[in-house]
Chains A and B, each alone.
Chain A
Amino acid sequence: GQQLNQSPQSMFIQEGEDVSMNCTSSSIFNTWLWYKQDPGEGPVLLIALYKAGELTSNGRLTAQFGITRKDSFLNISASIPSDVGIYFCAGQLGETSGSRLTFGEGTQLTVNP
């Protein structure tokens, strides 16, 4: 089955620094999604990417859908303490696969004030 490799597993940064994380897949996806999960909560959608090569921003977050459709990255600029959490990438083939999501293993982000 499809597998997503997400890196890094964890990051410890200072407030104000920029952050970058990425996901790679052994096969293609038609949609890439990035979620953030706080402790004891469900994942919250940050950015959705629907087209290869697409670059999308949401405030301080920027994500790109790789041109090969096998990878995606998420950047966070000027990090703040509330950025702390676990970030998950997820790939989706689409209706043909029942819209099932394949999740990465997550990146635990810690921001030191």
Chain B
Amino acid sequence: GAVVSQHPSRVICKSGTSVKIECRSLDFQATTMFWYRQFPKQSLMLMATSNEGSKATYEQGVEKDKFLINHASLTLSTLTVTSAHPEDSSFYICSVKRGGRWDTQYFGPGTRLTVL
């Protein structure tokens, strides 16, 4: 069964609005979650690492004020795209890290964001 869920699966919004995407770890508590974006026919690009109870760590070139990440519990992380613009249209995917010996990441089903 699914290990990670994302909501919504797709969203269309107007330019200038904010959009929140939820990522839930279903099978285990995840102290660390990751947010990726993927453009068509490209690989996944890590945007930020979300740590429960602390500030997210953003990759170089990713605006932290534009992509707000909140990891309020061990099973939920949210990504808010603020003041979205058409160039923010992309496929956003989260992953959860299963720690310990099995240091493996499991990915959510993704959220397709289209900004008009």
Contacts and interface: CB of A to CB of B under 8 A. Distances in A.
A76 B108 CA distance: 24
Contacts of A41: 109-110
B69 to A, nearest CB: 14
A37 to B, nearest CB: 8
A99 B44 CA distance: 15
A88 B97 contact: no
Interface of B: 4, 6, 32, 34, 42-44, 46, 49, 57, 91, 93, 95, 97, 101-110, 112
Contacts of A88: 43-44
A99 B31 CA distance: 12
Interface stretch (A11-19, A42-50, A55-63, A65-73): A42-50
A83 interface: no
A41 B93 CA distance: 9
B1 to A, nearest CB: 12
Given A88-B44, A99-B97, A101-B46, A40 B112 contact: yes
Interface string A57-98: 000000000000000000000000000000010101011001
